[in-house]
Structure 1
Amino acid sequence: MSRRKFLHQAGALASGLLLHQQLLAAFNSGIQQTVNIGFIGCGDRGRGILHIMRELPAVFRVTAVCDVLDFRLQEMLKDAPGVKSYKDHRKLLEDKEVHAVIIATPLNLHYSIAADALAAGKHVFLEKTMTYNIPEAAKLVQLAKQHPAQVLQVGHQYRYVPLYFKVKEMIEKGYLGKITHIDCRWDRNWNWRRNVPAGYSDKQVNWRMYKAYSGGLVAELLSHQIDFINWAFDTHPDEVLGTGGIDFYKDGRETFDNVQVILRYNKENMIGNFGATCGNSREGYIFKLKGTKGTVALLVNSGIFYPEPETRKELQVVDGVSGATKIEWNTDGGIPILKEKGKDGTWYALKDFHQCITEKKQPTSNVITGATTAVCVHLANAAAYTHTIQKWKPSYNFSS
């Protein structure tokens, strides 16, 4: 590699903070038109989105909330007093004051509620995974095409985080060389259960534990990392293998508490390992992209580039050249990708949702990309539960 190219790389790696500042400036310079929001689903995720929304400039106004569970609805009303409340989402969708909806319900309800929202003329922020299965993903793609004036954004928020934008750029510009291997984990030492109040069933509250309502750990956690790989490489897996089990929590759950899936990307000559367990939290969140020139190791909002030995030597030579941007090495011999941690990914995603509505733009995480990741999740679970190798089919290429 030429000295000039490495000078360029050194400067680019040191410019992460500038990128973060530029993105924030761009977000904050947008149209400040207020959008009236209705929440459909008032569980942990719905309330979490509400809290993050309050950190934004006054671009959203919450005017209505909806949940079929009374205790969830009452919890939400404590955080949003005075707004209209509904137990039937269709009644909320009839409300002419509501411009857009946040859908944060159990996964099995995503498609039907999103379809109703589009039919009612609302913009939609639909939590991940976009749909429960592949047929629903295909149908929602077709429905969204029939409503081109409405925004349908899917809650894969890594597509909006400055850190992950930067990593995507590093991949595209060859900083990592040829990437052949990806290692991802999202581990915890917790049973993943919520308390069930008197008068409610476990299936109503702990729906993530039951196959009829949930895609389990793959849908709720690993889908974020799977989606990022789809985005960063403009790809999808060709083969999916998986295994898993209910290996620790023998408590009546149906979805696995321990899962490992392998995605093979033939066009990229690349393997992705994606795993999660509820039985150990030592590693927590891991996201490593391994290339011939270096490795990127990511946490949710921080990341390090670790050059391979030969790459490191060349970077150090360039670092000593007069006029070159100084590279800041950490104690492990890595280069921080951003000097400052960014905000929660949902903050950036909500900002973009507002801009897409007011400026009539297509979201980065849209119905096509959401459908592609929903297919990946469906195939991964099918592989794990049936002990089969799942293959990508041409019918899953929704953009063609």
Structure 2
Amino acid sequence: MFRREFIQNTGILAGGLLLPKDMFGRTAAGDQEGRIKVAVIGCGDRGKGLLHIAAQLPAEFEVAAICDVLDFRLKETLKQQPGLKQYQDYRALLDDKTIRAVFISTPLNMHFPIAVAALQAGKHVYLEKTMTYNITEALDLVKIVKQHPDQILQVGHQYRYAPIYYKVKEMIDKGYLGKVTQIDSRWDRNNNWRRSVPEPSLERKINWRMYKEYSGGLMAELLSHQMDFINWAFDTHPQEIFATGGIDFYKDGRETYDNVQVMFRYAKEGMIGNFGTTLANERDSYLFKLKGTKGTISLLVNDAIFYPEKSNRKELETVDGVTGATKIVWDKDGGIPIRTDLPGKDGTYYSLKDFHRAIAEKKQPDSNVITGARTAICVHLANKALYEERIEKWDSKYNV
């Protein structure tokens, strides 16, 4: 019976899934590893965010140093956490033998050279998304990481580290959505994405996301998270990429588009993925729907609801005559809330827990150089389709 299996096998009401590798609890190996001394390279909003989360994990990490090319960023960060050693040259920081790992949260164009230098210096690397600026760097980084088997490189696609995403992945694996054919996702905002600039000469360094020389734009900064989850959950990648967009609202000299839409054709799975974002309307904000023949899952960052199709809903509404199980509680829109037994902390908290576990156990993190490369390639192909106005296709040489 679908209803009985649904309750017993997914634990959807009580939330009792075993999440991968016990990543949300302390392991024996983690206890033996102890605190790892780390440094943050890149002290913008994301770097300070990583510093804030690391402070919530005192048993796992000791942040000892920070690095940024902008002096005022270092001063801002020291106000948040005084006493840290500071550098403006990442190479000088990497010479510090006491630093075992680095968090890299620089502009996208610097991800690859700093990650390579960190690996060559013997450090473990937490590298922010998107993993690399282009496809060549993604493929090269895979090769370089393989040359450093004793070091961990994790990619910061933190949103899919939220416990609810592991649960949704297990539901997909067990077939509760049936055959998934459509993915609809958005990540919308209503602001100009611009940071204040203390002097004009710093415009491109501070607002790097707006300039193609440094940035992958909205594809890299926002939509890469949802692309990454689909790649991971279905162990796939798109075969064809279609895109359109423009600078449709903010006529302020930026180069990356403020309004984009990309469609991925996952031909092998028979799926279409729609990924869109605008900076001129925030009504939908974060929207992520996976649509299958048996039901739809609607995902937020820490919440999810399952909407069964009519053919399955009838059985779910019936009280089980054998077990006497009570009826499932539906929300006002006819959905079943999906729950976990874990607190809804920021996904970065769980991703840093996994980084520590990976180092302690000398095992690959769930968001690793292979999954990171696959998503980085998707982002780059999406941007090529967007800016060159042509259909892009996945090449077999991208299979890593």
Which TM-score tier does this pair reach, normalised by the shorter chain? Answer: over 0.9
Q: Does 1:363 align with 2:361?
A: no
Please give the secondary structure, in 1, of the residue aligned with 2:238. Answer: coil
The residue that corresponds to 2:5 in the other structure is 8
The residue that corresponds to 1:232 in the other structure is 233
Q: Tell me which amino acid in the other structure corresponds to 2:82.
A: P
When structure 1 is superposed on structure 2, of 292-301 and 317-326 the one drifting more is 317-326
Please give the secondary structure, in 2, of the residue aligned with 1:201. Answer: helix
The residue that corresponds to 1:343 in the other structure is 345
Please give the secondary structure, in 1, of the residue aligned with 2:65. Answer: strand
When structure 1 is superposed on structure 2, of 247-256 and 339-348 the one drifting more is 339-348
Q: Which runs of 4+ in 1 moved over 4 A?
A: 20-26, 318-321
Change (3 A) 1:252 1:22: closer
Asked whether the 8 Å contact 1:14–1:327 carries over to 2, the reply is no
The residue that corresponds to 2:377 in the other structure is 375
**Structure 2: how far apart are the matches of 1:383 and 1:313?**
44
The residue that corresponds to 1:19 in the other structure is 17
When structure 1 is superposed on structure 2, of 314-323 and 350-359 the one drifting more is 314-323
**Structure 1: how far apart are the matches of 2:14 and 2:92?**
46
The residue that corresponds to 1:155 in the other structure is 156
Change (3 A) 1:25 1:254: closer
Change (3 A) 1:319 1:244: farther
The count of aligned residue pairs is: 395
**Structure 2: how far apart are the matches of 1:180 and 1:170?**
15
Task: Report the aligned-residue RMSD.
Answer: 1.8
**Following TM superposition, by how much is the alpha carbon of 1:318 offset from its aligned partner in structure 2, in angstroms?**
5.1
**Following TM superposition, by how much is the alpha carbon of 1:111 offset from its aligned partner in structure 2, in angstroms?**
0.2
**Alignment map for 1:118-129 (pairs within 5 Å):** 118-129=119-130
Change (3 A) 1:319 1:305: farther
Q: Tell me which amino acid in the other structure corresponds to 2:306.
A: F
**Structure 2: how far apart are the matches of 1:378 and 1:211?**
12
Asked whether the 8 Å contact 2:183–2:272 carries over to 1, the reply is yes
When structure 1 is superposed on structure 2, of 366-375 and 151-160 the one drifting more is 151-160
**Alignment map for 1:241-320 (pairs within 5 Å):** 241-317=242-318, 319=320
Q: When the two structures are superposed, what TM-score results if normalisation uses the length of structure 1?
A: 0.95
Q: Tell me which amino acid in the other structure corresponds to 1:54.
A: A
The residue that corresponds to 1:79 in the other structure is 80
When structure 1 is superposed on structure 2, of 345-354 and 330-339 the one drifting more is 330-339
The residue that corresponds to 1:392 in the other structure is 394
The residue that corresponds to 1:203 in the other structure is 204
| Identity percentage of aligned residues | 63
The residue that corresponds to 2:92 in the other structure is 91
**Structure 2: how far apart are the matches of 1:319 and 1:333?**
19
**Structure 2: how far apart are the matches of 1:21 and 1:292?**
26
After superposition, what is the alpha-carbon deviation per residue over 1:80-128, rounded to whole angstroms, capped at 9, x for unaligned?
2112110000000000110000000000000000000000000000000
Change (3 A) 1:102 1:186: same
Q: Tell me which amino acid in the other structure corresponds to 1:75.
A: E
**Following TM superposition, by how much is the alpha carbon of 1:202 offset from its aligned partner in structure 2, in angstroms?**
1.1
**Following TM superposition, by how much is the alpha carbon of 1:331 offset from its aligned partner in structure 2, in angstroms?**
1.2
Please give the secondary structure, in 2, of the residue aligned with 1:336. Answer: strand
**Structure 2: how far apart are the matches of 1:186 and 1:25?**
27
**Following TM superposition, by how much is the alpha carbon of 1:324 offset from its aligned partner in structure 2, in angstroms?**
3.0
Asked whether the 8 Å contact 1:184–1:275 carries over to 2, the reply is yes
**Structure 2: how far apart are the matches of 1:203 and 1:356?**
36
**Following TM superposition, by how much is the alpha carbon of 1:320 offset from its aligned partner in structure 2, in angstroms?**
6.0
**Following TM superposition, by how much is the alpha carbon of 1:25 offset from its aligned partner in structure 2, in angstroms?**
8.3
